[in-house]
Amino acid sequence: MHWLIGTHSNSGLGRIWREIGGIKDGDIVKLDSFFKVFYNNETLTFYNDFDKLECELNRVCVCDKDKEEVARFMDVLRYLGMFEIPSDIPPELIIEQPKPDFAFARKTISFMTRTLGDYAQRFETPIIRYALEHAPVNKRFCVLYFAETLSNLCSGNADLPRGGSSVAIRNVTERFKALGGKLITGAPVSEIIIEDGIAKGIKLESGQTVYGDYTVAACDIHHTYEKLLGNKYAPNAFFDDNSDKEKYSTYSYIIAAFKTNMDLHSRDVAEIYHTEKFDLSGKECDVLSVRHYAYDESLTNDGYTVLQVFVDTDAADYQRISGMSRSEYAEFKRRTGETLKCQLEKYYGVNGDVELIDVITPRTYERYLNSYQGSFMTFPLGAKMAQPLYARRVDGIDKLYLANQWLMAPGGTPIAVMSGKFAAQLIAADAEGVI
Ligand X SMILES: Cc1cc2nc3c(=O)[nH]c(=O)nc-3n(C[C@H](O)[C@H](O)[C@H](O)COP(=O)(O)OP(=O)(O)OC[C@H]3O[C@@H](n4cnc5c(N)ncnc54)[C@H](O)[C@@H]3O)c2cc1C
Q: How far apart are CA 119 and CA 73, in angstroms?
A: 11
Provide the angle, in degrees to the nearest 10, between the axes of the packed helices 315-322 and 362-369.
Answer: 70
415-434 residues near ligand X, rule: CB under 6 A? 416
Instruction: Give strand ranges (E) for 215-342.
Output: 215-217, 251-260, 270-280, 283-292, 305-314
Nearer to ligand X, 2 or 78 (CB): 2
Strand partners, 126: none
Among 150, 377, 381, 383, which residue interacts with ligand X (rule: CB under 6 A)? 377
Q: Is 1 helix (H, G, I), strand (E, B) or coil?
A: coil
Q: How far apart are CA 47 and CA 91, in angstroms?
A: 35
Nearer to ligand X, 260 or 375 (CB): 375
Contact stretch for ligand X (CB under 6 A) within 54-62, 321-329, 370-378, 380-388? 370-378
Contact stretch for ligand X (CB under 6 A) within 47-55, 281-289, 293-301, 413-421? 413-421
Other Cβ atoms closer than 10 A to 44: 19
Nearer to ligand X, 129 or 223 (CB): 223
Contact 369, 224 (CB under 8 A): no
Nearer to ligand X, 165 or 249 (CB): 165
38 binds ligand X (CB under 6 A): no
157 binds ligand X (CB under 6 A): no
206-245 residues near ligand X, rule: CB under 6 A? 218-219, 223
Length of the chain, in residues: 435
339 binds ligand X (CB under 6 A): no
411 binds ligand X (CB under 6 A): yes
- In whole angstroms, how close is the CB of 4 to ligand X at the nearest point? 6
Nearer to ligand X, 128 or 229 (CB): 229
Q: How far apart are CA 328 and CA 255, in angstroms?
A: 18
Contact 86, 12 (CB under 8 A): yes
- In whole angstroms, how close is the CB of 224 to ligand X at the nearest point? 8
Cα-based distances in Å from 411 to 9, 57, 153, 203: 22, 29, 18, 27
Sign of CA dihedral 132, 269, 67, 157: positive
Q: How far apart are CA 274 and CA 75, in angstroms?
A: 28
Among 273, 405, 422, 426, which residue interacts with ligand X (rule: CB under 6 A)? 405
Contact stretch for ligand X (CB under 6 A) within 133-141, 176-184, 349-357, 365-373? 365-373
CA atoms within 13 A on the CB side of 395: 9
Nearer to ligand X, 151 or 371 (CB): 371
Nearer to ligand X, 12 or 414 (CB): 414
Among 86, 91, 181, 188, which residue interacts with ligand X (rule: CB under 6 A)? 188
Among 7, 48, 250, 404, which residue interacts with ligand X (rule: CB under 6 A)? 404
- Site residues for ligand X per CB under 6 A: 1-4, 188-189, 218-219, 223, 368-371, 376-377, 404-405, 411-414, 416
